């Protein structure tokens, strides 16, 4: 009986980690919101295509949310992601319009290389400044954002539309799933369409999840974000891990730029404006803390989907003025952030209470024993 | 010797920004010896006003300097940054215009009432941010993200008209110059806000309290400081700064454009705080550093404009200069330089002995 009691208390005392709690909250919010939209708004939300549209439209956002989650877990921040997307899209569009390469495969490959290269360059210098020169990440990446936006306008102030035939043909490629489609009014079956970018985004989330969870690099990043000093004492090469987290973040921003170009093949100075703020919001709603050590890319995925669903719901709702939409999405954001904070605070308070109770009883019995023997 | 050490320690934080400012000034003097010449000009209203690049730098950095002061306080107490200052400035500008137009004629007293209403309204919005941060323990950047994304829409909603115009000599004297005084009024506003904060620091322990809350909240609480109240107070003070900056911004143009009023000032303000040598993680801080940072940023922008860089491209060059400044001020580089100087000194001493 005694051992039974012990195992039971052990099981009771093992709480969810913060990462898990926040992840469950964000998944719950997303499901509640999506089901609510199906029940209340109906219409487009009843069709699976709506879900795929959310994925298609927000593939780049999902990827930069992953990029931000990685650095935020390491207690850093990267606000240059939106700027890097803008620069990548503009550079790739100009490259495609001026290139002599005719074949689709080669053009796509070269564009992808260019996009990843730009992201990599930004990741490397930002990572170097943050990790090896100990400069505050906010300032480094703010400079990165200024640089990327400035370079974008230096490349071209006017919008640049991609006119490369091969690339445009590639952009039109979509995965069609007929059994998830719906029958249109004229009786034609319209299959569900998934863009390549959406698949890339989902694949990125899965790969990043595995990398953060199972590789030495990923575990080091969590340790560094949790407590830099302890991580150093555990023998983790803090500087190198932080450096690689920024490189990875830059690389993902480049990839996001390429995905953005596949979704909308045109460069523009205002591409992904405020993208970094959306991505930060997505990561936070998904349960990543800016203070580091807590977070999950799966959560960020759901965070990005929550933001996308909010926008979609407001777009479909009777509110037509754009300023109403802004205010409604701001209010919803506030609601979710406060909800998350309250749940976390209650959980911590309950945990503390329980710890006090369980810690209190044995102490009492100890003193009783002492009294008995004396 | 100890006194000398004290002076160098207090200068340490300001050394890099001062050097950066000096280099910018020297660079401008070499490029154009007349860059800093100050002249007198009769403006449209018939008043004599000072003109020149130096005056224009100090004048146009006013809003940034004022907001940077408030931002420094919030950064010190919460260890995070308020990214909604630009959007909230649009709201306070809208409140100012709304109250002013609601009272009809623009006279000295109505402007004063509108200014008070604007300050109170802005403090309310800032307290909303502050409550999320201090009571709900939400990270400042996220708590202020809400108003950052919808603040300008609220500003539009307060004033149905897209760009309300304010045409009055009083507004002009707030935004430009007071007749008879050749120095632009916004410069006086910076001095006033600075003096206001200086007096608060002089007669209360707020400076110490904000620092201790920023360095260790738990320890501050154990010492009898209420961290929640201190954080709310810093947000309220930032609200005052934002309101003053917004009124200057509106008066300068004589109109309210909710989309462009103090646009992107949040990033510049955070940058000013960091260039001034303050830690963005909270704790110890120097207001003078942030003010200096604001003037450096404006000097840089004016220099770039003077070099005929297109306004849209300014950001790229600005970024490069910022990177150079922060690299020069980074702890690793600083350490390397002091080590090098020490080596040189000991080397010289050894030679002297030999």
- When scoring B161, B330, B335, B337 by the number of chain A Cβ atoms within 10 A, the one with the most, hence best to mutate, is B330
Q: In angstroms, what separates the C-alpha of A357 from chain B's closest C-alpha?
A: 23
| Mean pLDDT across A195-216 | 94
> Is residue A358 situated within a structural domain?
no
State whether A337 and B146 contact (CB < 8 Å): yes
Q: Is the pLDDT of residue A6 over 60?
A: no
Put simply, whether A146 touches B (Cβ < 8 Å) is yes
Residue A359 banded pLDDT, cuts 50, 70, 90: low
- Cα distances from A248 to residues A22, A65, A209, A241, in angstroms, run 24, 12, 13, 10
Residue A234 banded pLDDT, cuts 50, 70, 90: very high
Q: In angstroms, what separates the C-alpha of A12 from chain B's closest C-alpha?
A: 27
> Is residue A87 situated within a structural domain?
yes
| Mean pLDDT across A206-219 | 94
Contact B213, B287 (CB under 8 A): no
| pLDDT for residue A369 | 37
- The residue ranking higher by pLDDT, B338 or A203, is A203
C-alpha–C-alpha distance, residues B247 and B106, integer Å: 14
Q: Which two tokens stand for residue B34?
A: 């007349």
CATH of the domain at A82: 1.10.3470
Q: Any idea what the Cα angle at residue A338 is, between residues A332 and A342, rounded to 5°?
A: 145
Locate the chain B residue with the closest alpha carbon to A76. Answer: B281
Partnered with residue B164 across adjacent β-strands are none
| Mean pLDDT across A269-288 | 86
Locate the chain B residue with the closest alpha carbon to A322. Answer: B153
Put simply, whether B322 touches A (Cβ < 8 Å) is yes
> Is residue A51 situated within a structural domain?
yes
φ/ψ of A289, rounded to 5, equals -95, 140
Locate the chain B residue with the closest alpha carbon to A269. Answer: B312
> Is residue A351 situated within a structural domain?
no
Put simply, whether B287 touches A (Cβ < 8 Å) is no
- The residue ranking higher by pLDDT, A92 or A364, is A92
State whether B319 and A134 contact (CB < 8 Å): no
State whether B146 and A334 contact (CB < 8 Å): yes
Put simply, whether A139 touches B (Cβ < 8 Å) is yes
| pLDDT for residue A361 | 46
Put simply, whether A112 touches B (Cβ < 8 Å) is no
Smallest CA-to-CA distance from A136 within B24, B330, B247 is with B330
State whether A338 and B313 contact (CB < 8 Å): no
C-alpha–C-alpha distance, residues A36 and A330, integer Å: 19
| pLDDT for residue B122 | 96
Chain A positions touching B258 (Cβ under 8 A) are none
Put simply, whether A143 touches B (Cβ < 8 Å) is yes
Percentage above 70 pLDDT, chain A: 91
State whether B156 and A323 contact (CB < 8 Å): yes
| Mean pLDDT across A288-315 | 87
Residue A14 banded pLDDT, cuts 50, 70, 90: low
Cβ count near A197 (within 10 Å):
26
> Is residue A11 situated within a structural domain?
no
| pLDDT for residue B6 | 58
Give the nearest partner residue to B323 out of A143, A280, A326, using CB atoms.
A143
Put simply, whether A134 touches B (Cβ < 8 Å) is yes
> Is residue A13 situated within a structural domain?
no
Give the nearest partner residue to A154 out of B279, B313, B326, using CB atoms.
B313
Residue A90 banded pLDDT, cuts 50, 70, 90: very high
> Is residue A258 situated within a structural domain?
yes
A–B interface: beta-carbon pairs under 8 A: 135
Alpha helices in B32-134 (DSSP H): 53-60, 62-78, 85-102, 108-134
- Average pLDDT value over all residues in chain A: 85
- Cα distances from B41 to residues A62, B44, B45, B51, B249, in angstroms, run 56, 10, 11, 7, 23
| pLDDT for residue A156 | 92
pLDDT 10s digits, A98-149: 988 888 889 999 999 999 999 999 999 999 999 999 888 988 998 999 999 9
Q: In angstroms, what separates the C-alpha of A151 from chain B's closest C-alpha?
A: 6
| pLDDT for residue B351 | 67
Partnered with residue B250 across adjacent β-strands are none
Chain A positions touching B314 (Cβ under 8 A) are 150
| Mean pLDDT across A350-359 | 75
Contact B88, B119 (CB under 8 A): no
Q: Is the pLDDT of residue A352 over 50?
A: yes
Put simply, whether A341 touches B (Cβ < 8 Å) is yes
Put simply, whether B326 touches A (Cβ < 8 Å) is yes
Give the nearest partner residue to B270 out of A138, A284, A327, using CB atoms.
A138
Read off the DSSP letter of residue A135: -
| pLDDT for residue A290 | 78
State whether A129 and B81 contact (CB < 8 Å): no
> Is residue A40 situated within a structural domain?
yes
- Cα distances from B193 to residues B8, B67, B94, B244, B272, in angstroms, run 28, 10, 21, 8, 17
Mean pLDDT by 10 residues, chain B (354 residues): 56 81 90 83 75 88 95 92 93 93 86 94 96 89 86 88 82 84 91 94 92 91 93 96 95 88 89 88 88 93 89 88 84 83 80 61
Range of the structural domain that residue A71 is part of: 18-345
Q: Which residues, including other chains, have CB under 8 Å from residue A102's CB and lie 6 or more apart? A: A166
Q: In angstroms, what separates the C-alpha of A100 from chain B's closest C-alpha?
A: 29
Q: In angstroms, what separates the C-alpha of A59 from chain B's closest C-alpha?
A: 21
Angle between the N-to-C axes of helices B314-329 and B287-306, in degrees from 0 to 180, rounded to the nearest 10: 140
Put simply, whether A320 touches B (Cβ < 8 Å) is no
| Mean pLDDT across A258-268 | 92
| pLDDT for residue A334 | 83
- When scoring A134, A139, A292, A325 by the number of chain B Cβ atoms within 10 A, the one with the most, hence best to mutate, is A139
Chain B positions touching A122 (Cβ under 8 A) are none
Locate the chain B residue with the closest alpha carbon to A125. Answer: B323
Q: Is the pLDDT of residue A343 over 80?
A: no
Locate the chain B residue with the closest alpha carbon to A80. Answer: B319
Locate the chain A residue with the closest alpha carbon to B155. Answer: A323
Chain B positions touching A338 (Cβ under 8 A) are 132, 136, 138
Angle between the N-to-C axes of helices B85-102 and B62-78, in degrees from 0 to 180, rounded to the nearest 10: 120
| pLDDT for residue B10 | 59
| pLDDT for residue A362 | 43
| pLDDT for residue A373 | 35
Give the nearest partner residue to A345 out of B137, B149, B270, using CB atoms.
B137
| Distance from the Cα of residue B23 to its chain's centroid | 21
| pLDDT for residue A225 | 92
Which has the minimum average pLDDT: A33-37, A48-52, A82-86, A333-337? A333-337
Chain B positions touching A128 (Cβ under 8 A) are none
Q: Is the pLDDT of residue A320 over 80?
A: no
Q: Is the pLDDT of residue A363 over 50?
A: no
State whether A153 and B138 contact (CB < 8 Å): no
Put simply, whether B153 touches A (Cβ < 8 Å) is yes
Q: In angstroms, what separates the C-alpha of A333 from chain B's closest C-alpha?
A: 7
State whether A142 and B270 contact (CB < 8 Å): yes
In chain B, residues 201-260 whose CB comes closer than 8 Å to chain A? none
Q: In angstroms, what separates the C-alpha of A265 from chain B's closest C-alpha?
A: 23
| pLDDT for residue B39 | 82
In order of their start, the domains of chain B are 13-308 (1.10.3470)
Number of domains in chain A: 1
Q: In angstroms, what separates the C-alpha of B217 from chain A's closest C-alpha?
A: 15
In chain B, residues 155-174 whose CB comes closer than 8 Å to chain A? 156-157
ipTM reported for the complex surpasses 0.90: no
């Amino acid at each position: 009986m005694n051992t039974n009691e012990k195992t039971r208390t052990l099981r009771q005392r093992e709480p969810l980690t913060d990462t898990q709690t926040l992840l469950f909250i964000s998944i719950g919010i997303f499901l509640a919101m999506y089901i609510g939209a199906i029940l209340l708004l109906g219409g487009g939300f009843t069709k699976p295509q709506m879900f795929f549209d959310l994925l298609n439209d927000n593939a780049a956002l999902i990827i930069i949310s992953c990029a931000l989650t990685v650095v935020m877990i390491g207690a850093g921040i990267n606000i240059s992601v939106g700027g890097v997307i803008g620069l990548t899209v503009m550079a790739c569009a100009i490259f495609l319009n001026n290139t002599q390469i005719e074949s689709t495969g080669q053009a796509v490959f070269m564009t992808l290389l260019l996009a990843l290269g730009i992201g990599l360059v930004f990741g490397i210098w930002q990572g170097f400044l943050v990790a090896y020169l100990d400069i505050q990440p906010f300032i480094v990446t703010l400079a990165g954002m200024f640089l990327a936006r400035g370079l974008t306008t230096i490349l071209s102030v006017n919008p640049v539309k991609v006119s490369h035939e091969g690339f445009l043909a590639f952009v039109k490629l979509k995965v069609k799933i007929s059994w998830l489609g719906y029958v249109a009014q004229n009786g034609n079956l319209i299959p569900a369409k998934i863009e390549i970018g959406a698949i890339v985004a989902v694949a990125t989330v899965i790969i990043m999840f595995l990398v953060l969870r199972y590789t030495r690099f990923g575990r080091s990043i969590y340790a560094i974000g949790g407590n830099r000093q302890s991580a150093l004492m555990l023998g983790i090469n803090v500087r190198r891990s932080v450096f690689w987290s920024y490189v990875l973040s830059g690389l993902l921003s480049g990839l996001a730029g390429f995905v953005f170009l596949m979704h909308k093949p045109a460069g523009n100075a205002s591409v992904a404006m405020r993208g970094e703020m959306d991505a930060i919001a997505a990561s936070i709603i998904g349960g990543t803390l800016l203070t580091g050590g807590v977070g999950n890319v799966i959560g960020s995925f759901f965070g990005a989907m929550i933001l996308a669903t909010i926008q979609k719901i407001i777009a479909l709702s009777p509110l037509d003025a754009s300023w109403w939409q802004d205010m409604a999405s701001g209010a919803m954001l506030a609601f979710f952030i406060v909800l998350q904070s309250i749940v976390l605070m209650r959980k911590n308070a309950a945990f503390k209470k329980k710890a006090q109770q369980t810690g209190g009883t044995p102490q009492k019995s100890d003193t009783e024993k002492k009294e008995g023997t004396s | 010797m100890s006194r000398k050490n004290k002076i160098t320690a207090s200068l340490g934080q300001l050394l890099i920004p001062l050097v950066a400012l000096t280099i910018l000034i020297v660079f401008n003097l070499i490029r154009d010896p007349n860059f800093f010449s100050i002249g007198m000009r009769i403006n449209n209203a018939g008043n004599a006003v000072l003109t020149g690049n130096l005056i224009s730098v100090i004048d146009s950095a006013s809003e940034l300097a004022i907001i940077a002061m408030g931002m420094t306080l919030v950064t010190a107490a919460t260890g995070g940054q308020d990214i909604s200052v630009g959007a909230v400035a649009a709201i306070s500008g809208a409140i100012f215009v709304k109250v002013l137009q609601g009272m009809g004629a623009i006279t000295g007293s109505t402007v004063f009432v509108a200014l008070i209403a604007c300050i109170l309204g802005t403090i309310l919005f800032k307290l909303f941010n502050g409550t999320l941060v201090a009571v709900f323990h939400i990270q400042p950047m996220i708590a202020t993200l809400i108003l950052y994304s919808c603040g300008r829409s609220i500003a539009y909603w307060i004033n149905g008209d897209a760009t309300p115009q304010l045409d009055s000599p009083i507004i002009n004297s707030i935004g430009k110059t007071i007749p008879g005084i050749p120095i632009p009024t916004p410069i006086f506003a910076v001095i006033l806000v600075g003096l206001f904060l200086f007096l608060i620091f002089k007669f209360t322990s707020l400076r110490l309290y904000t620092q201790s809350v920023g360095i260790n909240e738990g320890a501050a609480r154990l010492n009898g400081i209420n961290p929640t109240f201190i954080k709310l107070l810093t947000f309220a003070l930032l609200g005052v700064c934002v309101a003053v900056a917004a009124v200057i911004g509106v008066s300068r143009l004589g109109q309210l454009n909710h989309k462009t009023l103090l646009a992107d000032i949040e990033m510049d303000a955070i940058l000013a705080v960091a260039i001034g040598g303050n830690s963005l993680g909270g704790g110890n801080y120097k207001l003078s550093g942030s003010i200096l940072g604001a003037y450096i940023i404006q000097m840089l922008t004016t220099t770039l404009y003077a070099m005929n860089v297109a306004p849209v491209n300014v950001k790229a060059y600005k970024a490069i200069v910022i990177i150079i400044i922060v690299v020069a001020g980074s702890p690793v580089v600083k350490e390397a330089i002091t080590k090098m100087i020490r080596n040189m000194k000991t080397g010289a001493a050894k030679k002297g002995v030999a």
